[in-house]
Chain A
């Protein structure tokens, strides 16, 4: 075989590493978790909120609801803030200032999640406890921290979407007498909408999957929350809290929790990818 062909084959094998890792991860998570779902029944597993691993009750409804609520809360805070930053950076500021602000805001992505969780415990949780009541460790605290954590994702993808809108759109609108804000609001934002929705979906994926910060501020109580001040346990925190000592069926149940999480994340990522491709 000639050398060029050989190199190409080797590189092709290397290139398969990411997709094969993904396949292996999927196989192992499902292999470990599916037996429990078959044993308990998918319906009981997902729709019951009775989680008592030592007594053989494995229902994760409360955690699914908590994960969804915490994520929605994070979006309420993170999307307007992130989108505002993206609009300011892409439309309303000078080249020079953007060159300074963009890398600065990207620094947020580098701060480890444990640090977010820690500051949440030190600053945010006492604030909530003293001014709003409840234990402080709560759905609200988790949502606020996650809202901040998803900012870099929302900002950077929205900026890409906004800058991808051709300048002729803006020029045309300004020439018709629209103000800069009318142009952004009526022309640029609608044109960039699919990119912005992608940013929001990827932000959601990041919020659903986040673990360490949530464990530290959410309080981890095993019940369906009735107020935003109630402590909650998400899918991710359930896995992380119990994996250390779980065995047998209990461990399988944690992998089954992982399957549910994995499926949610994959649906979110796939829809983001499809949406980005349609553009």
Chain B
């Protein structure tokens, strides 16, 4: 039979191991960020950003992919924001917990768990084939809107719930209608939180590949209408890396993608923290 270690010794061993694991995780994160930045950022020049790709992306920059990314993301946000914020208002201000809220929450939770390849399949069959939009900015934006909807619902709900109840009571005592209370007081107070949700959605859209490969396609031309196919930066990076077209350009694209997503997420996080601190 082995001797039992003194609890203090066990504790020391456990703490060392746990901190080592945490350190390892932080190192992995650091490695990813530093590696992509060091190899990628030197590639990022103004001509890289402002020139269209040439020769399948072997030469030139990534301008048309930035434009496609912007169009698709913008479309997804414009479509998903009213739906998401509306859902959040309904859930927090208009109903008590019951079967209706349970179904709505269940839907949002499940939707958040649907993997992007399934969304890609769905967008491909409904928007690209059945509705005849083809591989296009429109199909990509519509499918992405469904993908980011749960993010907007969850963050907006959290933000609206954080607005103190007294605000509503004061409005009520002043004789304001419920709708006036929501549009003049609750939504403006919750705006930083709602913006956070939208920013997180932009971050998620920038990095998405599987959905867009099958809905927006991979044409490198500059899109001129909603029905044009458009290759986003993430899809462009995937194709450059996978087909080994140009490693420098792949690193450059990855660096821009990663840095912008990290900055957006960081800003979103700070905004939410600041709002929560104001109300608590």
- Which residues of A are in contact with B by a Cβ distance under 8 Å? 3-4, 7-8, 10-12, 14-22, 24-25, 28-29, 32, 80-82, 84-85, 87-89, 92, 101, 103-119, 121, 123, 148, 151, 178-182, 185, 202, 205, 208-212, 215-216, 236, 239-240, 243-244, 254-255, 258, 261-262, 265-266, 268-270, 273
Q: How far is the CA of A94 from the CA of B77 in the complex (A)?
A: 38
Question: In chain B, what residue has the closest Cβ to A276?
Answer: B109
Contacts of A29 in B (CB 8 A): 118, 121-122, 125
Q: Contact between B107 and A19 (Cβ–Cβ < 8 Å)?
A: yes
16 contacts between A and B (CB under 8 A): A11-B86, A17-B87, A28-B125, A84-B22, A108-B25, A110-B265, A111-B32, A118-B250, A118-B254, A123-B35, A179-B7, A208-B115, A209-B115, A211-B210, A240-B214, A273-B106
Contact A25/B149 with A8-B94, A18-B87 known, Cβ cut-off 8 Å: no
Contact A112/B257 with A11-B89, A236-B115 known, Cβ cut-off 8 Å: yes
**Distance between B35 CB and nearest chain A CB, rounded to angstroms:** 7
Q: Mark B188-215, 1 if CB is under 8 A from A, else 0.
A: 0000000000000001001111100110
Q: Contact between A121 and B209 (Cβ–Cβ < 8 Å)?
A: no
- Which residues of B are in contact with A by a Cβ distance under 8 Å? 7-8, 10-11, 14-15, 17-19, 21-22, 24-26, 28-29, 32-33, 35-36, 82-83, 86-87, 89-91, 94, 100, 103-104, 106-111, 113-122, 124-126, 146, 149-150, 153, 177-179, 203, 206-210, 213-214, 234, 237-238, 241-242, 250, 254, 257-258, 261-262, 264-266, 269
**Distance between A61 CB and nearest chain B CB, rounded to angstroms:** 19
Contact A216/B266 with A19-B107, A22-B110, A81-B21 known, Cβ cut-off 8 Å: no
Q: Contact between A84 and B118 (Cβ–Cβ < 8 Å)?
A: no
Contact A103/B26 with A11-B86, A22-B110, A92-B18 known, Cβ cut-off 8 Å: no
Contact A181/B146 with A29-B122, A211-B116 known, Cβ cut-off 8 Å: no
